Amino acid sequence: MLDTIKQFLKEHEIDEKAGFIIAVSGGADSITLLHAFKYLNLRIHALHCNFNLRGKESNMDEQFVKRFCETYGIPMSVKHFDTQEYAKKKSISIEMAARELRYDWFEEMRQKKKMDYIVVGHHADDLAETLFINICRGTGIKGLTGIRPVKERILRPLLSRSREEILTYIEQNQLGYRTDSTNNSLDYVRNKIRHMIIPVCKDINPSFLNTVRENCNTLKEVEQIYRYGIDRLKEEVLSEENGETLIDIQKTLAAPAPYTLLFEILRPYGFNATQIEDILESSDAIPGKQFEAEEYLLTKGRIYWRLFNILEKEDKRTLLADSGEYHVDDSIFRLEEQDIDDSFIVPRDLDTGCFDLDKITYPLVLRHWSMGDWFCPLGMKRSKKKLSDFFTDLKFSAKQKKDCLILQSGKDIIWVVGHRIDDRYKVSPATKRVLIIKQIKGI
């Protein structure tokens, strides 16, 4: 194991005098990594994340890592995370939340401790498991290259060693380690692959992990050739005009692999595989056919497919500082403040917004919508909804999205103009004063 790490540092031209942040969960791989780096007398600082996901077990992991570091005189830091709250806030899985949290903290501490690299304990079994996960998810040729041994400041020096070899090192050096009980749960995709697929592959081919590693190394070079070819073809078929990306239809069709080329061009803009197939099939269609991703619109012309960002327009903001009239584009927005009583009837036409004035903060901001905007639509009892989802529900066209205005009070969106106000700012039985905003179009 020590020779493996020394060879890794030499192969990747990493100075042994550098500083290394060691990510330590308490499992066999990270304990092996920490022990080996300490034995080699490298400058290290251990980091342990307590994600507070397994109750007492998480705290026992933390205490084990602390005792280990105290025994070997290794400086360390621990951080607790509310992983479930973070996942809920960002609408991502627990696994993705834990990954984001730990790597953000690792980088923060790398800079704070003036270290050079972050070292993690991925090994050959992890490489094989990741390869199968990527195959199942359909990540393309890049996913077949597995885990990178070096990615920016992140090092993975144990990728050439198996879990079995790591456990042998643990036993030889009489090191303790912690086992995550969730590693045995088949509720997780990685665990299904680890316990159900990898053993069968090893039975078929005892050198399976070496075979995977060799194939991944070969495919890394294949990917480089692939990228080189794609980049050359892009140069032939792409051009720019007035902020639009033009894709030459005939040159694309004449390429060795038209679908693959178009997929590589359009995937970064949010178009999916089915859409790209439809776009390719539209090559003989009459001009004018449109295809829409969340932020981009592609239209078919006679010679080109034209791609442009439907959200890209001047970030024009109009401040509505008080009651009165404001000219915005081809509309007038008329603001009127009014005291009300029980006889007041809330206007129901879509071009009029009526709000509880005591909840309003001036100046109001009238602007075009942006990705990430959200509000609480009237009638949804303060449930958040992204504007992109709201537009999808209304079956908005690309032009409708592009032209839509929103009204903002402080940090809150209070009105998707012409469509729906925010439930938090509606007129209620407790309302004493209202702000009525009327949009008069066609001025």
The answer to the question of whether 55 is labelled as a binding residue is: no
Spatial CA neighbour of 421 closest among 348, 332, 363, 361: 348
The torsion angles phi and psi of 235, rounded to 5 degrees, stand at: -60, -35
Question: Is 324 labeled as ligand-binding?
Answer: no
Question: Is 341 known to sit in a ligand binding site?
Answer: no
C-beta separation of 46 from 74 below 8 A: yes
**37 token code pair:** 């780096």
418 is in an annotated binding site: no
Contact 195, 184 (CB under 8 A): yes
Distance in angstroms (rounded) separating the CA atoms of residues 418 and 405: 8
Helix (H) or strand (E) holding 34: helix 28-39
Instruction: Report the run of H or E that residue 172 belongs to, with start and end.
Output: helix 163-172
Cβ distance 76 to 48 under 8 Å? Answer: yes
231 marked among binding-site residues: no
Is 321 annotated for ligand binding? no
Asked whether 159 and 123 are in contact (CB, 8 A), the reply is yes
Range 290-315 burial, b when 16+ CB lie within 10 A, else e: ebbbebbbbbbeeebbbbbebbeeee
Report the distance separating Cα 396 and Cα 140, nearest Å.
Answer: 32
Element of type H or E holding 128? helix 124-137
Instruction: Specify binding-site residues for ATP.
Output: 25-30
Binding-site positions: 25-30
